[in-house]
Structure 1
């Protein structure tokens, strides 16, 4: 619990970084080189805390619950940089916790789904750590923004009802050569502002760009808090893509 992923060798982390840039890890002690699930919590980039969902632990996988800094203490974009730094730390350190760095899956709910998307779609974020985002084994965001996150838009004076696609939008980085992706949202009539539709547009534009290893599930009858039925889909995805 509370393992720091910040760089304390080449920089001096702030007190807030020491408080938030931490991970919790659950892993099987009797197995080595198991698939890894990085989980980013939700909360609108303004709240929430790192978590290890019960639905993911005890399944024979290494699960990493990552924390990150929050707005308004920092600009919301700093959460994106923190997410990438956490993913990079996992690549470099997860073997110590019986995880397989060649089978790392990135996931999260809501704001966490957005961070999962950004950390993989914007390849420049991991290039900083001499890593290739395409080395991620799979990407499974739950109800994540594919346009620019509403908290970032709010900081720019843009209301949540006004869509924006800029460099803080995962859909800005659509390309053919991504890891396999599974998009999961709640019912389009019960979700937050157009959340299903923006995921559906991301799905379509990825297909147009030639990425065929992508699927989208809409969980009928469930609203934004759709994690309960989504966790089994994530676990199935990890199992299927770990044996390839």
Structure 2
């Protein structure tokens, strides 16, 4: 289902959550590599941390694992303001960056963070069956890779199919441009290899909501590659994949109108799971 949306429609549909009586807490800089993993690696100690923002007087809430953007070369973890006070937990993740590391270190970190959430979210009152993975740009790429290529989470004894939903915001579906840069490949040469979400199209993946900015305002080919990925997922037999193009919004600006769609998708999946 492909839809072109304007901001008024987005903001009016399915975003409000009554959280007037809900209180929240924030825990910061928790290490997600546990049990002394790579304890002598100073860069892991520095970067591989997460923050968790969660309801303190609710139980069984859903959780969003959020990966920041920045082209795999910059950026820092943050709890998006648009996801606060929605009756949800938000886990914001830092990961190692190029050029200090190269692929697949970024994906390894993303998988380690997601597995940490699965092992620990119930301690904070969350439901481990309601963990959604999302992020913007490079963060959207990481969300897709962790959810589609099952090998990354298998390394941490986790099953990617336990993810309740994947909601990448304007993330590469071909091999990421920074990974191509590492190999000396120009940005206009599209590559689809094992480091591309497109390479791992499968019918049994978690539900997916794909969101991009306006095709005429987005980064080079970003809408088109996402539309192709959407079509290939459909042809593979995946029955729960949607694509939204946010008309009038560029790559950086598309996140704001995308957040209501993320919350709406979480509520849709929660309802569907209850009806099973």
* Superposed pair shares fold, TM > 0.5: yes
Q: Which residue of 1 aligns with 2:207?
A: 180
- The 3-state SS of whatever aligns with 1:55 is helix
Q: Which residue of 1 aligns with 2:33?
A: 6
Q: What are the Cα deviations for residues 204-239 of structure 1, in whole angstroms up to 9, with x where unaligned? A: 000000001000000011010110100000000011
Q: 2-side partners of 1:178 and 1:219: how far apart?
A: 24
Alignment equivalent of 2:236, drawn from 196, 205, 209: 209
Q: Offset at 1:13?
A: 4.4
Scaled by the length of structure 1, the TM-score of the pair is 0.98
Q: Which residue of 1 aligns with 2:265?
A: 237
Q: 2-side partners of 1:76 and 1:214: how far apart?
A: 27
Aligned length: 244
Which deviates more from structure 2 when the two are superposed, residues 144-153 or residues 6-15? 6-15
Contact 1:45/1:76 (CA < 8 Å) preserved in 2? no
- The 3-state SS of whatever aligns with 1:238 is helix
Contact 1:26/1:64 (CA < 8 Å) preserved in 2? yes
Q: 2-side partners of 1:188 and 1:218: how far apart?
A: 7
Show structure 1 runs of 4+ deviating over 6 A.
none
Q: Which residue of 2 aligns with 1:157?
A: 184
Q: 1-side partners of 2:37 and 2:66: how far apart?
A: 26
Q: 2-side partners of 1:10 and 1:232: how far apart?
A: 37
Structure 2's unaligned 5+ residue stretches are: 1-27
Give 1:190-229 correspondences, 5 Å limit: 190-225=217-252, 226-229=254-257
- The 3-state SS of whatever aligns with 2:198 is helix
**Higher relative contact order structure (alpha carbons within 8 Å, sequence separation ≥ 6):** 2
Residue 111 (str. 1) matches residue 138 (str. 2): yes
- The 3-state SS of whatever aligns with 1:86 is helix
Q: 1-side partners of 2:36 and 2:100: how far apart?
A: 24
Q: 2-side partners of 1:23 and 1:99: how far apart?
A: 16
Q: Offset at 1:130?
A: 1.5
Alignment equivalent of 1:50, drawn from 71, 77, 94: 77
Which deviates more from structure 2 when the two are superposed, residues 201-210 or residues 95-104? 95-104
Give the aligned CA root-mean-square deviation in angstroms.
Answer: 0.9
Q: What are the Cα deviations for residues 189-217 of structure 1, in whole angstroms up to 9, with x where unaligned? A: 10001000010010000000000100000
Residue 133 (str. 1) matches residue 160 (str. 2): yes
Structure 1's unaligned 5+ residue stretches are: none
